[in-house]
Chain A
Amino acid sequence: MFFFAYAMVPIYDVLCDITGFNGKTGTVETEKQYQVNEERLVSVSFFAATSSGFPVQFAPKISSMEVVPGKFYTTSYIAKNTTDEVIYGQAIPSVAPTDAALHFKKLECFCFVKQKFEPNEEVEMTLRFVIEPEMDEWIQDVSLSYNFYKLDS
């Protein structure tokens, strides 16, 4: 049972990947074609947060947008290093509600790799995503939130 506690780690990750529990988002490799219903609109809100001890100003460029499921959209987040030192960070995404997380797919995201911020540098980091049309009809609002954590290198 001691090792079972450790086995919970991969089990938990796989379960979250399959079900979208915990707001973990998925990725798509290519810009594939979906069945698009132009009439349907979903509102996506963007949020940003930084963990304590991470001296970077971090905010979405626009706070929300209306999207059609099945179409790809691009938006960006702005980050500004407020110190005279080089800072490394990693953004962790989370999507609510849970049922939307499964169908929120990213083609490109600054959260895929760790970010390096030069002293006093301001960067615009892009994000390209699609909401799959298979997402439940009752979901009309989706929230995407990033939390930035400091890395040592």
Chain B
Amino acid sequence: MSSTTTAAYDDHGHGPEKGLLRWVKTTNHKDIGTLYMWFAFSMLLIGGALAMGIRAELLQPGLQLFEPQFYNQLTTMHGLIMVFGAIMPAFVGLANWLIPMMVGAPDMALPRMNNWSFWILPFAGAILLSTFFMEGGAPAFGWTFYAPLSTTFAPDSTDFFIFAVHLLGFSSIMGAINIIATVLNMKAPEMRLMDMPLFVWTWLITSFLLIGAMPVLAGAVTMMLTDRNFGTAFFDAAGGGDPVMFQHIFWFFGHPEVYIMILPAFGIISHIIPTFARKPLFGYSSMVYATASIAFLSYIVWAHHMFLTGMPVAGELYFMYATMLIAVPTGVKVFNWVATMWKGSMTFETPMLWALAFVFLFTIGGFSGLMLGIAPADIQYHDTYFVVAHFHYVLVTGALWGIIAAVFYWLPKWTGKMYNEPLAKFHFWWALISVNVTFFPQHFLGLAGMPRRIPDYALQFADFNFISSIGAFSFGLSFLLLTYIVVDCIRNGKPADARPWASAKGLEWTLASPIAYHTFDEPPTRAEILAESQHS
């Protein structure tokens, strides 16, 4: 009896199960990380296809391709799919792959819940996408789904959207619980909190943001659901409710949400820049405190999205100054990255190129955010293309750039193979130029007064829209090359060293390549942890 149990527990060398059911039943953090990444990538392509539709309609003034109602469905679904389907699952996927290896743990703390939190996602995504084929069409009220557009005036498919958001919320919350449990309970006994790599730190803090913010979103959509179907009047003035309250609840979730989508990218960049600058990260502890400060501040600035709802001047002043305050910890991070590079022996492999572009372009997005945060100026910028340009600079060249940088940086570890470096560099420059051609002119359009969420526009906006659309088509095409590079790496890549980047530090690089199915059966020692520490 006892001998059989011992034998079962000693069997650590086994690989993955054979067949497709491996992916359904898996509780392995590497498998689940891979599933998350491919799901996010397919959602990125779908959301990108919707964006191509948007830009095709905006190529010229006038209505060419779509009815305005369908155009609104495109913008709404593009936003929802990119935020909830692409960016957030991609970061959870990276966390699954990397956090156990970075903290010297054999797996995530709650592996079965991990399986569940992934497998909810394809169903949620399918429910969300199926609304396109329903009578009345998909939700068309913008990704912010303001009441009463989303309650009184919305299509019937909105109830499916609500259910999909509930599922996505469950998945995110479970992912966050799992990450907190893994980091706090499963990290190597010899690893102290201030030894943890920054990707682990930023994800730990992001998890607390998720647990705080996602239930508020669930509350908001539940109120919508009862307003729509069960006669409540949370957002209906006739019954004593208030549509402005919807915006308060939504943005109380929505503002932490934007930091949920950027903090893990901050962590990724803090790994890549020290590696290719061949210097330890400058200001490790200030990075940790800056991340925590940003997370705290993110909860108390939500109404800067609502300067035009008729807020009292005192409220506008408070939310404006609190918003400006976020620039301080964010500035600490940017200057720390720059200081890390200062007098470093820099080389420019593909992950470094993406990381450098991140620092440069995310800062542009941060600055346009500061402009929007100035209450008197926001009266002019509100709901114009300036806002669209701003959040695409922080989400595309911020969050997505961080994800792509991470993929190129850790791909040799995940696959044990090297991607095609010249092709990847070519792809980087292609994406970099086309993304700026797409989004930079939108700043000018917004300053000139072009409103967002409209399928048609006045003639004076035609030239910049044409440039922006051409850039968007080129940017969209570049993702086909990215797909080829990744698939080519997996199938034909040359074997990579265990530590493919000479100066890379981190426990994940101590593991052999190609990586074993189970790692860190024995936790790393204090000496190993210190040798791989980011700050020495």
Contacts and interface: CB of A to CB of B under 8 A. Distances in A.
Interface centre among A3, A9, A151 (most CB of B within 10 A): A9
B68 interface: no
Contacts of B249: 5, 8
Contact of B220 (A5, A21, A51): A5
Contact of B219 (A4, A12, A92): A4
Contacts of A51: 238
B237 A1 contact: no
B248 interface: yes
Contact of B215 (A5, A23, A96, A147): A5
Interface string A122-153: 00000000000000000000000001011100
A1 B310 contact: no
B185 to A, nearest CB: 23
A55 to B, nearest CB: 15
A3 B234 CA distance: 14
B315 A5 contact: no
Contact of B245 (A9, A19, A150): A9
Interface in B216-254: 216, 218-220, 222-223, 234, 236-238, 242, 244-245, 248-249, 252
B332 to A, nearest CB: 28
B211 interface: yes
A108 B220 CA distance: 35
A12 B248 contact: yes
A75 interface: no
Interface string B78-108: 0000000000000000000000000000000
A23 B211 contact: no
Interface centre among A1, A3, A23 (most CB of B within 10 A): A1
B223 A1 contact: no
B215 A22 contact: no
Interface centre among B212, B311, B312 (most CB of A within 10 A): B312
Contacts of B237: 92, 147, 149
A114 to B, nearest CB: 10
A64 interface: no
Nearest to B217: A5
B247 to A, nearest CB: 11
Contact of B234 (A9, A21, A90, A98): A9
Nearest to A2: B215
B260 interface: no
A5 B223 contact: yes
A91 B311 CA distance: 22
Contacts of B245: 8-9, 12
B302 to A, nearest CB: 11
Nearest to A148: B238
B220 A98 contact: no
Contacts of A151: 238
Contacts of A3: 219
Contacts of A5: 215-216, 218-220, 222-223, 249, 252
Interface centre among A19, A96, A98 (most CB of B within 10 A): A98
Interface string A1-39: 111111011001000000101110000000000000000
Contacts of B213: 1
Contacts of A90: 238
A98 B312 CA distance: 6
Contact of A98 (B211, B242, B310): B310
Contact of A2 (B218, B244, B248): B218
Contacts of A6: 219, 223
Interface string B117-133: 00000000000000000
Given A8-B249, A150-B238, A96 B216 contact: no
Interface of B: 211-216, 218-220, 222-223, 234, 236-238, 242, 244-245, 248-249, 252, 310-312, 315
Closest 6 CB pairs of A and B: A5-B219, A149-B238, A1-B215, A2-B215, A98-B312, A5-B216
25 contacts: A1-B212, A1-B214, A2-B216, A2-B219, A2-B222, A4-B216, A5-B215, A5-B218, A5-B219, A5-B220, A5-B252, A6-B219, A8-B249, A8-B252, A9-B234, A12-B242, A21-B312, A21-B315, A92-B237, A92-B238, A98-B310, A99-B312, A147-B237, A149-B237, A150-B238
